[in-house]
């Protein structure tokens, strides 16, 4: 079975994406094959292909989304409270 790409292409894709899952998706192969290929390339070329810290990026995005949602919810609550107060006053 022929590899999905050359070692050099794999290294380039890995450095671009930094994630076993993303590399597997790009190459159309199984994630376990990506790990095996990365380990073999690291040994053969005496290089390190580190995994990016996607968890940190995902947490940062989640915090931004949560903060925006909370702000939107607070704005809606303020509007409803104000609207209710105005209706009570104008009866």
Read off the pLDDT of residues 13-70 as tens digits, 9 standing for 90 and up. Answer: 999 999 999 999 999 999 999 999 999 999 999 999 999 865 544 555 555 555 555 5
Do 58 and 91 reside in the same domain of the chain?
yes
Q: Is this prediction's pTM over 0.75?
A: no
- Whether 2 is in a domain gets the answer no
- Whether 38 is in a domain gets the answer yes
- Whether 81 is in a domain gets the answer yes
**Counted domains in the chain:** 2
The Cα 51–Cα 49 span in angstroms is 7
Which token pair is 27?
């190459």
In this structure, what DSSP letter does residue 52 have? P
User: What range defines the domain where residue 66 resides?
Assistant: 53-91
Do 85 and 64 reside in the same domain of the chain?
yes
- Whether 80 is in a domain gets the answer yes
């Amino acid at each position: 079975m022929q590899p999905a790409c050359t070692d050099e292409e794999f290294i380039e894709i890995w450095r671009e994406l930094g994630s076993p899952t993303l590399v597997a998706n790009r190459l159309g192969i199984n994630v376990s094959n990506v790990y095996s290929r990365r380990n073999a390339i690291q040994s053969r070329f005496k290089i390190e292909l580190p995994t990016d810290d996607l968890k940190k990026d995902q947490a940062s995005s989640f915090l931004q989304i949560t903060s925006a949602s909370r702000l939107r919810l607070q704005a809606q609550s303020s509007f409803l409270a104000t609207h209710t107060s105005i209706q009570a006053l104008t009866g």
